[in-house]
Structure 1
Amino acid sequence: MDKAELREAAETLAKQLEGTHGVRARWDGDSVRIKGAGVDGKLTLSDADVLVSVELGLMASAFKGPLRNEVQRFLDEYVS
């Protein structure tokens, strides 16, 4: 999958997270920043890697499993 296809898939994921979890997504170059109540994450696309970083606050940590599963499903479906 090339970088343009990955970006399109990441945009779809960001919209799903916005709708499902009420976070805001903002693109800056090849990175999308996901922010919401107790959630601060970043997904960065490069030619060789997809880097995912997420920090959860105390209250949001209860959703760690579902958020991890959704990101993992995205990676399995679009990257592997």
Structure 2
Amino acid sequence: MPVEELREAARQLAAKLERKHGVRSSWQGDNLRIRGSGVDGELSFGDGVVDISVQLGLLASAFRKPLQAEVQRYLDEMVS
């Protein structure tokens, strides 16, 4: 998938997470930083690899599985 399409997919994912979960996002080069109450993460892509790293606070960790499933489902749809 071209980098421009990956960037757009990441932008759409960040917008969806903001609407549903109130997280904020910002770009640092090709890295998308995601922050919210009890959530701190980064999405990066390059050389055909998408890497997502998220740390959840104690309360947010209760939603780990639904958040993980939502991100995975979105990436399966958008990055294939």
TM-score, normalised via structure 1 length = 0.94
Instruction: Tell me which residue corresponds to 2:23.
Output: 23
Distance in 1 separating the partners of 2:9 and 2:50: 12
Contact 1:44 1:50 in 2 (8 A): yes
Give the deviation of 1:50 after TM superposition: 0.4
- The two structures, once aligned, show a CA RMSD in angstroms of 0.9
Structure 1's unaligned 5+ residue stretches are none
Instruction: Tell me which residue corresponds to 1:53.
Output: 53
Instruction: Tell me which residue corresponds to 1:41.
Output: 41
Instruction: Tell me which residue corresponds to 1:64.
Output: 64
Partner of 2:54: helix, strand, or coil? strand
Distance in 2 separating the partners of 1:45 and 1:16: 19
Q: Which runs of 4+ in 1 moved over 2 A?
A: none
User: Size of the alignment, in residue pairs?
Assistant: 80
The percentage of aligned residue pairs carrying the same residue is 60
Structure 2's unaligned 5+ residue stretches are none
